[in-house]
Amino acid sequence: MENNSLKHVDASENVRCIIDNASLLTESEQAGKGSIYELKNINWTTCEDFTIEIGKEQIKEYIGTWELHPSWLFSIEFQELKDIEFHKEYHYQICWSIPTWCTPIPKATAIFLWRCTIMWNPTVLDTDLEKHASVKNG
């Protein structure tokens, strides 16, 4: 049995909280304060076809469904692969910020650690937001 659904209820609340907090830190009216977020799911790849690069692209695609202010930019970096007895964990770091031409080094960033887990019995692809932090620079 294969389940490509994404558990995003708790993660979405964390994402909203972090982005709202980072918006407050930047004191920017364009940071998306008061925005209404609608999180949608995507068609995740099968466990057999999952690779580091496909995981990165699918996280990017999933984030692309979020209704955030376009000033929020992000980068995704693969961190590590943990090969555990009955599953594999792919860990990614996503760094959010609002750089501008007058402040190319943002006043605040939001960092998320995202984990994609592939379990062998039953075959399940599960993703979740593992950890998050909001950082005020300078």
Structural domain boundaries, residue 43: 9-136
How many structural domains are present in the chain?
1
Does some domain include residue 33?
Answer: yes
How high is the mean pLDDT in each 10-residue block of the chain (138 residues)? 39 58 47 53 86 93 82 92 90 89 82 85 70 65
Does some domain include residue 108?
Answer: yes
Does some domain include residue 48?
Answer: yes
Does some domain include residue 4?
Answer: no
Beta bridge partner(s), residue 2: none
Does some domain include residue 125?
Answer: yes
Cα 112 to Cα 132: distance, rounded to the nearest angstrom = 4
Q: What is the pLDDT of residue 38?
A: 53
Does some domain include residue 1?
Answer: no
Q: What is the pLDDT of residue 18?
A: 59
Nearest residue to 30 via CA among 72, 74, 75: 72
In contact, 5 and 128? CB cutoff 8 Å = no
**pTM for the full predicted model:** 0.68
Does some domain include residue 69?
Answer: yes
Task: Cite the DSSP H helix spans in 41-126.
Answer: 52-64
Using CA atoms of 17, 112, 129, 20 in order, give the dihedral in degrees to the nearest 10. 10
Does some domain include residue 118?
Answer: yes
